[in-house]
Structure 1
C-alpha cells in the first residue's frame, strides 16, 4: 500500500529467545511493502542490547545471532517479526495497519488530536497547496473549505483577495479574517500608496512550497482564543520545520502560461461601430431630413454640417477602414509564469533545520503588469538541555509588482482601454511609430501602448517575519512557553507619468514616491499544566499576549520635468507637495484555555479572553470574550464496539468574540492641522468623537457531527451555525448643524446562519489503484435585524446608488429600478413603474427603486477527486458559488445607446442586437445621438445578472517514478506533472459575459480579470 502518512519513528520491544552458544553473524535484507522498500523502518534485536538499529532506508544490515528475534516497526504498518536462522539474509514484507495515528490539528496557540477538537475546523495539507500556480497562497484554499468564500479583487499578480468566512458580519468594520503564521498573528493589510493602483498583498510574500499546512477556524470554540481579531474567522499558516534524520533536498521547478479565465464582452470592430453610429444618425436626424438608413453616410459627410453633430463625425472622416485591433494589442497573451524553489531539511536528536530559497516571476494578462518575488527561509530548533528547547523561523521576501491603474475610470489601464478605445484610431503611424497625435483629435483616450511603455507604476514590498520560541518543560505537568514574533514590512511605491502623452502631458510629467513602514510586534508568554488520573485528562493554559503595531508613511509628489528621461520626485519643479503620517495601535490580552477529556470519549473546552484595544476610549477598551465547546466521541462507547463507525463525534459550541477593525481615534474629538488661511496654519474640527464607542460583538452557536465509516472509507462532517453580530460599528448620520456628517456608534445587529457539509469517499483502495472523491457545501443566510434610528424612530438605511442595507434584508442588497425591456413600437427603453412588475414607463425617473436581489453569495462549495495507478496520478477540483446577483458596473459606458459608445468611447457587440424597425423584439434599445440614449444604460436590472457559476479549478496529470528508476539516476524522488487552473467556467446567466468571480461587493469591474493557466512542473527529491 502506498504510504501517505507523516513518518514518526517508534520502537516496539518484544520477547525473544537467544541461544547462548550461537555465534554472532551479519544479517542483510530488505524491508518492503507491496509498492517497494520502506524507508525509516526501525529494526530491533530483542535480547541483544547493543545490536538495536533504527532508521534503515529499506535495506538493512544488522549484527545478530541464530535464534534472535528481529522486530520491524513503522508508522501505519503492522509490526513484523523474523527469527534469525543459519542464512545471512532475511527479507520481510510489512502489511498496512488498519489503525492509523490520530491526525493532529493545528489551532494556533495549541495543537489537538482530531478527536479532541470541539469546534468547526478544516485543515489542508501543504502538499495539496504547493502545486497550485497562484502568487498569493490564500487563493489555493478556494473550493476546499466549506463556508470559505474567496474572490479576486484583481487578476494583477500579487493583488489582495477578498475573503469571507461564514458571510459578512459587519458594515463599517473589516470582514477579513485574521492570519496567524507559526502561532503569531500577522498583518495582511494591502500596501498601496493610492486606491487607484494595483494592490500588493503581504501574503504574496509567502511561497506555497514553504507551507506545511493551512487551518481555517470558523466557530466560537475555535476562534474565541483570538478574541476580537478572530471575529471574522482565522486562517492559520504553519510553515515547514526540520525533521531529524538524513538531510533531504527538494527542488521544485515549474513553467507555464496564463490568459484571462473568461473572454468578457467583445468590443466593437471598426465596421460594427460605423454601422451603429450611422444607425444613431438616422434615428436622430433621418425623419426631419429625409434620408434613409442606407444613405446615412452620404448625408452625414455631405450635408450634415448644419446639424448638431461634431465636426469630425466621431472620427469617422479620419478612419481609413483599417482596424485598430486594440483588444489584441493591449492583451498579453500566453503570459509566462515560472517558479523555482529549493529546500533542505534534516537534523539529529538535538537539532533540526529547514532552509529554502525560491523565485517566482508571473506576468499579468494585460501589457505592463508583472510580479517578481524572491523568498528565503531558515528555521532551526535546538534542545539546549533535556528540558529546554529553542526554535526560530525566519523568512525574507522581496516582492515587486509592476501594476496598472485600476479600480476606477482610468484610460491608461490597458484592460479598460481595450473597451474604451475607438477601433477607428490607428495605434501606429505610417512610419511604424506610435500614434500620439491624431488620436487626440477624436478620442479622449491616450495611446495606451505608448503610456505603458513610457509610464511607471511599481509596488515593492520587502517583508521579514521572525518567530522565536523558547519552551521549558518544568516538570512532567508544567511547561512554560515564550514566543516573540516580528512582522516587518517596508513598502515603496513609485508612479511616473511621462510629459509627452497621457495623464502627465498637461503638466509636463509628474511623479509620486511613497515609502511605508509597518512593524508588528507580538510577545506571548504562557504556562501549560496537564494532569492525567486514570481515565481523566486535564489540560490548562494561561497566556498573556502583547501586540504593538506601528505604521509610518512618507510621500512626495511633483510636476514638470526638465527632460523626458527624469522619473523621480527630486527632479520636479512645480506643485511639489510632501505628505507624511504615523499611527499605532496596541492590543493586550489575557487568555485562559481549559480542556477536560474523559477516556477519549467526552471532551469539554472552555476559553476566556480579556482583550484591550487602544482603538477605544479608556473605560471601554477591554472586552470579555469566551466560549464553551463539547464533544462526544460516540464510536468509543462500548455499545459501538465492532460497529461500522471508526469515528462518530457529536460536537457543539457557544461563545463570543469581538471586532475592533475600525479607523483609529474614532472615539476622540479631533482637530486637524492640514490646511492654511492666507498662508498661515489653520486648525479645524475633523472628528466628532464618541467616548462610548466600544467593541462590536459576535455570538456564535455551532452544532456538528463528524463521522467515518468502513475503516475510514467514507468520512465527513455536517454542521449548523448561528452567528449574531450586535453593537454593530456603524457610521450614524448627524444633523448638519453639528458641523459633521456622521459619528461612529455601536448600533445595529446582523445575523448569519447556515449549514456546512464535507464528505470524502475512498472509492477504491488497493496496492496499484486508488480513487477518492471529496466534496463540500455551505449555505449562508445573511440578514440585518437592527439599525440606527432617526429622531422620528425610523431606521436609518445605508443606501448607495445601487445598494441598500436595511432591516429584513442582507447587507448590501441590490436596490435599483427594474428593467422591462424595449418598446417594440419605437425602440425606447422601458422600466416597471412599481419596481417589480405590471405597468411600464419609458421615463426613467418615473420608475420606482426597489429591492432586486442579494449581492452576497448564499451558497459555495467544491468537489475534488484523486486517482493514482502505478505512479500515474490525476487530480481534479471544481468550485461553485451562487444565490447572488452580479452588476456590470461599466455598462453605462460600454452598452449605452447614446454617444458614449459611438462618439466618445466604444461599445460592445451586444449593441448589434439593437432595435431598428417597428415590431422588432429585442432587449437593446435603438441607437441615437443623445448623450445618454434616453437613460437606457442607467442603473437598472438590465445589467444585473444571476451570479451562479461553476469553475473547473484544477486539472492535474502526473507521474511519480518508481524506486528502480530512481536508483539508476541517484534520486529519492522524481515527479513530472502538468496542471491546468481555471480552464473552464460555466455561468447560469448567459448574459453575464465578464468573469463571475467578482469582488465581495458584487460588481464586475474593468480591472484585470482572474486568469486560467497551464503549468508544467518537475519535483526532485534527493
Structure 2
C-alpha cells in the first residue's frame, strides 16, 4: 500500500511515477532532519546538503529545476496537510520556515514522492515541483508499546580548506610588497632592505610603510613577538551532539494513540554556535461507532539556534580563512578587538574568534502543527471526511554587535556607543486549511474496481512581520536588547502584514479491469487571490494508464517474470509561489517638493498586470515496473519530459511608463531525463540477508524561451560583472565567464595576444572569444552549469544473526560550481596581503620559475575579470552513512525489555571531490546575486558538511 494524494492505493495498481521510502530505517539510523534521510534514496529526487550549519533545511528538487524565479521546492503534505515552502535563501535558510523544521524523523511511518504531474495534479497550482507525502505513525490495537531511542556523539568539519600557512603567507606577502616597491619609482629594487626603503621614503626612525616594507621579524629565528595562527583550527571544534526520544503507542477497537517526545542538543562544529530543539507529538483516533471516526494530530515544537553569522559573503567564515595567519603575540587570538589594535600588515578586519565570541545571533521558533478530522461512512463504500488543519509559526531573531569588535581601535575609543549595532525581527505565520472529501470505492462483478473522489479545499496563509534595527546608542556589551539603547538611532524599522487565499475543487477517477488494465484521471480547479483579475482560476487535469502484463495468461506462470507493468501518464500542474500582491497596484514612498518644501508622498511602485497567472508544468511520462524471480530483483524505470511555461519574469517595457520592467508570464524551461530504481535481494537466508538498493537519475535542463523574445538574460551579481546567464538552448543559470587558457609569457606579448587591462608577463592569459584583440566582458562564454547531469545512490543492508550493517554511498556527476570565495581569496591587487588558497604555492614567480603554469603571480596592478580560474567540477562521491548495529535484547532477559539494539554510526567520514575553492561542492549561497528576483547560485563561504560519530541505543518495552 502506498499513499497517494487524498488516499491510498495498492502498489501494483499505481499508474504514475511514485517513489517510496520505507521510514522504518529511520529508527535504525540517527537522523536529525527528515530531508536528511532522503539523500541518495530515490531516483529523480535530488537532496542537496548545501550547508553544514545547524538547524538549516536542505534543498530538495524533483526532476530538476523548472522555475526561474518562483522556487523549485516541492509541496510537502504531512498527514494530509499541504504545506508549501518558499525557496531557500543564502546558506540554505528558509526565512519563513521549512515545513520539515523540527519534525522528529522517528515519528515518520512512510514517505512517498509524487514525481510526475499525473500523480501530483490532484494538488493543482502548488504541485509543479512535485509533492512529498509524509505519513506519521499511528497507534494500533493491543497492549502499549514503548520505545526509547537515545544517541550521543560528536560532529566536526569533514574537511579543512587548504590555505597558505604562516611561512607561506610571509613568502607571498614579501613577493607582493617587493613588487609594489619596485613598481613605485625608478631605482627601486627588491633587494633593498627595509632601512634603505625607509631612507628613500624619508620616514622617521621606527616608522614603516606596510605597502613597501616588510616586518623584519618575519625572517628572524623564532619570529620574536609574532604568533603564527591557523584560524581554522582555532574556530572549528568537535561539538557534542545528543538526542533522546521516547514514544508510546497502543489502543483498542475504540481508541488508538501514538505519543512521543524528542529532545535534541547540538554544539556546532564552529565555536559559539549551537542548536537546541524540543518536540512532542500526539496522534489519536477514536471510533465513535462502526460508521463514525474522529482524529486529532498535534505536533508542537520549539527551537533555539545560536549563529553569530558564520556563512556567506563577508561573514565570519570568509573572514576566518582570509585572516592574516601572522599576528602580534601580545594580542593572542583577539587582534583588533577591544583594546587591542590591528597587526600592521593585516588588511583584514577584526579577529574572527572575537566576532564568534561577542556577536549575538539568536533565532527562536515556536511552531504547532495541528489537525482534527471527522470521517463518516454514509453507505457501504461511500465515505465523507472533513479536516481542519492549522500551522502556526512564531519566529523571533535578534542580533547584537558590540563596539569591542567594531571598526578599528582609534574609532572604538573615540566613538564608543556609535559603533554598536543591533536588530530584532519577528514574524507570525499561520496556515489554515479546511478540506472536505467524498470517496467512493466498489468492485463490480469481481472484475471492475472503481474509486471516485470529489473534494473541496480552502487554504488561507497569513503573515505578520516586525523588524527594527539600530546603529549606535548601546552602552553595554551585556544588555543586548534594543530597549536598553541610549538615544537610539534607527536605520530600519517596519511592520508588514500579508494574506492570501486559495480555494479549490478537485476530483479523481480510478478504474481497474480484471486486475490487468488500469486507468486514472484527475482534475483540480484552483482560485488564488495572488493572481490577476483575469486569471484568478486555473484548471489542472491529468490522466494515466497501466497494463499489468504479468497478469496475462502468457506470463502469469512465468518462473522468470513475476511482475511486469507498463504505464504512461500525462498531466499539468502549477506554481503560485509569488508575492501575495504582485498582480495589484501597490504604493511606494516617494518624496517631492510642494510649496518649496520637501513632502513625503506615495506613488505607484509598479505596473499592474491583471493577466498575471500561474506558472504551468506539463509532464509526459512512460515507464515500467518489473519483478524477476519472485521479486528477488525489482526495477522501476521512467522516461519523462516536463515543460514549465508561463514562467514569472520581469518583462522590459518603455521607460516612458516610469518603470523599466513589469512582472509577466513570459518564459519556459524544459527538463528531460530518465531514472531507474533497482532492489536486489542478494541473499535471503535464515541467518544471513543482504539487500542492495540502487537508484540512478539523468536530467537535462534547457531554457526554451525568455521574456520579450530575448535570447539571453544576464543575472546581476552582488559585485563586479555578471557570471551567470539565462540563455535560450542552455541550462538555467549557466556559468558565464572569461576562459583562462594559461599564463602570459614574453613570447605571448611579442605576438600581440589579447590582454586584459595592463597585463604583463606572469598574469593570466585569456581566450579572446570575440577575436577583437581586447579581453573584456564581451569575451565571456558559457563554461558550465550548476545542475548535475547524473545523481545516484547505493545502499547495502546486511544482517547476520543479531548484527546489522548499512552503508549508503551517494554522488553526482556533470555539474559545475563557481567559487566566489576562491575569487575573494585570490585577489592580487595592491595591498591585498590577506591569506590565499593553497594552490598559490605553485604560482608564477618568474619566467624561470613559472610554477604549475596555471596560477598567476602574486601581484598585479589591476583587478581580475571573472574567469574559469574559480570554476570547479561539482562531481563527488561520498560515503554518507555507515551504521553497524547489534540486537542484544533477547540476551538481556529483562522482563520489561522486549528488544534492545545498540549501534554505531559514521556520517560523511569518507568521500572524494575536486572542489578546491571552498568546503562543500554542494554549497549554495544565493546572496551572491545582485537581484532579489534571481537566486543566482554560487559559493561564497558555505560551511563544510559535518562529519559525525554517534553511539546509540534503541529499547523496546
The normalised TM-score by structure 2 is 0.89
SS of the residue corresponding to residue 483 of structure 2 reads helix
Measure the CA separation in 2 of the matches of 1:390 and 1:510. 52
Q: What is the CA deviation profile of residues 94-142 of structure 1, one whole-angstrom value per residue up to 9, with x for unaligned ones?
A: xxxxxxxxxx101231111101211111111222234554433212201
Identify the residue that residue 458 of structure 2 maps to in structure 1: 546
Alpha-carbon distance between aligned partners in 2 of 1:911 and 1:298, rounded to the nearest angstrom: 29
1:967 corresponds to which residue? Answer: 893
Equivalent residue number for residue 935 of structure 1: 863
Tell me if 1:560 matches 2:456. no
Residue number in structure 2 paired with 1:867: 798
Deviation of the 1:997 alpha carbon: 1.6
Kindly tell me the number of residue pairs found equivalent between the two proteins: 902
Match of 1:985 in 2: 911
Instruction: Sort the Cα spacing of 1:285 and 1:313 in 2 relative to 1 into closer, same or farther, 3 A.
Output: closer
Residue equivalent to 1:949: 876
Match of 1:574 in 2: 488
SS of the residue corresponding to residue 533 of structure 2 reads: coil
Q: Does the 8 Å contact 2:16/2:118 carry over to 1?
A: yes
- TM-aligned CA deviation for residue 299 of structure 1: 5.3
Q: Secondary structure at the match of 1:474?
A: strand
Q: 872-881 or 400-409, which moves further after superposition?
A: 400-409
**Which is worse superposed, 772-781 or 402-411?**
402-411
Alignment counterpart, residue 325 of structure 2, candidates 423, 433, 442: 423
| Residue aligned with 1:283, SS | helix
| Counterparts in 2 of 1:169 and 1:982: CA distance versus 1, 3 Å | same
In structure 2, the residue matched to 1:1007 is 942
Query: 1:616–1:869: structure 2 CA closer, same or farther, 3 Å change rule?
Result: same
Query: Which among 175, 178, 187 is matched to residue 282 of structure 1?
Result: 178
Q: Distance in 1 between matches of 2:95 and 2:327?
A: 28
Shift in Å, 1:450: 2.3
**How far, CA to CA, are the matches of 2:88 and 2:764 in structure 1?**
44
**Partner in structure 2 of residue 609 of structure 1:** 524
Q: Please state how far the C-alpha of 1:891 moved relative to its aligned partner.
A: 2.3
Shift of 1:680: 4.6
Partner SS state of residue 707, structure 2:
coil
- Aligned counterparts of 2:514 and 2:343: Cα–Cα separation in 1: 80
Q: Contact between 1:828 and 1:934, CA under 8 Å: does it hold in 2? A: no
Partners of 2:57 and 2:93 within 8 A in 1: no
Match of 1:776 among 689, 695, 698: 695
Secondary structure of 1:886's partner?
strand
Tell which structure's C-alpha radius of gyration is larger: 1
Q: Which has the higher contact order (CA 8 A, sep 6+)?
A: 2
For 1:341, which of 245, 253, 258 is the aligned residue? 245
Normalised to the residue count of structure 1, the TM-score between the two structures is: 0.84
Q: For 1:278 and 1:236, locate their aligned partners in 2 and report how far apart those are by CA, in whole Å.
A: 60
Deviation of residue 449 (structure 1)?
2.1
SS in 2 for 1:935: coil
CA contact (8 A) 1:724 1:752 kept: yes
How far does residue 332 in structure 1 lie from its aligned partner after superposition? 2.9
Deviation at 1:477, TM superposition (A): 2.2
Instruction: Say whether the 8 Å CA contact 2:433–2:458 is kept in structure 1.
Output: yes
Alpha carbons 1:698, 1:724 under 8 Å: kept: yes
Deviation at 1:1004, TM superposition (A): 2.2
Partner SS state of residue 776, structure 2: helix
Runs of 5+ unmatched residues, structure 1: 1-103
Alpha-carbon distance change, 426 to 371 in structure 1, aligned in 2, over 3 angstroms: farther
Alignment pair present for 1:146 and 2:33: no
Q: Distance in 2 between matches of 1:601 and 1:913?
A: 67
Summarize the Cα distance change of 1:186–1:925 in structure 2 as closer, same or farther, 3 Å threshold: closer
- Flag the 1:1010–1:736 CA change in 2: closer, same or farther, 3 A: farther
Q: Can you list the C-alpha shifts for 1:21-58, whole angstroms capped at 9, x where unaligned?
A: xxxxxxxxxxxxxxxxxxxxxxxxxxxxxxxxxxxxxx
Whole-Å separation in 2 of the counterparts to 1:330 and 1:799: 37
RMSD: 2.8
Could you tell me which residue of structure 2 aligns to residue 168 of structure 1? 65
The answer on whether the counterparts of 1:400 and 1:460 sit within 8 Å (CA) in structure 2 is yes
**Within 5 Å, which residues of 2 pair with 1:36-47?**
none
Is the contact between residue 865 and residue 876 of structure 1 (CA under 8 Å) also seen in structure 2?
Answer: yes
| Residue number among 817, 820, 828 corresponding to 2:741 in the alignment | 820
Q: Does 1:1018 find its partner at 2:953?
A: yes
1:536 aligns to 2:536 (yes or no):
no
1:126 matched to 2:9? The reply is: no
State the shift of 1:301 in Å: 6.1
Q: How much does 1:329 deviate?
A: 4.9
User: Where do 1:709-720 residues align within 5 Å?
Assistant: 709-720=628-639
Comparing 520-529 and 396-405, the one that deviates more: 396-405
- Distance in 1, matches of 2:831 and 2:58, equals 32
Following superposition, the deviation at residue 178 of structure 1 comes to 0.6
Structure 2 equivalent of residue 361 of structure 1: 265
SS of residue paired to 1:588: strand
Map of 1:20 onto structure 2: none
In structure 1, the partner of 2:929 is none
1:403 equivalent in alignment to 2:322: no
Q: Distance in 2 between matches of 1:427 and 1:206?
A: 47
Are the equivalent residues in 1 in contact too, given 2:16–2:116 (CA < 8 A)?
Answer: yes
1:373 maps to 2:277: yes
Specify the SS of the correspondent of 2:403. coil
Report the alpha carbon displacement of residue 434 of structure 1 after superposing the two structures with TM.
Answer: 8.7
Q: Residue in 2 aligned with 1:213?
A: 110
| TM-fit CA distance, 1:280 | 2.0
Alpha-carbon offset, residue 1011 of structure 1: 1.6
User: Bigger CA drift: 968-977 or 464-473?
Assistant: 968-977
Partner of 1:908: 837
Q: Which residue of 2 aligns with 1:522?
A: 433
- Structure 1 pair 336–347 and aligned structure 2 pair: CA distance change class (3 A): same
**1:461 paired residue among 360, 365, 379:** 365
Counterpart of 1:893 (choices 814, 817, 824) is: 824
1:630 has 2:527 as partner: no
| Structure-2 change in CA distance of 1:267 and 1:426 (3 Å) | farther
Partners of 1:529 and 1:278 in 2: how far apart? 81
Note the 1:236-315 alignment, pairs <5 A: 236-264=133-161, 266-286=162-182, 303=200, 310-311=209-210
Residue range with higher mean Cα deviation, 477-486 or 424-433: 424-433
CA positional deviation for 1:430? 7.0
Measure the CA separation in 1 of the matches of 2:276 and 2:744: 53
Residues 479-511 of structure 1 show CA distances to partners (whole Å, capped at 9, x for unaligned) of 101111111100011111112222695624222
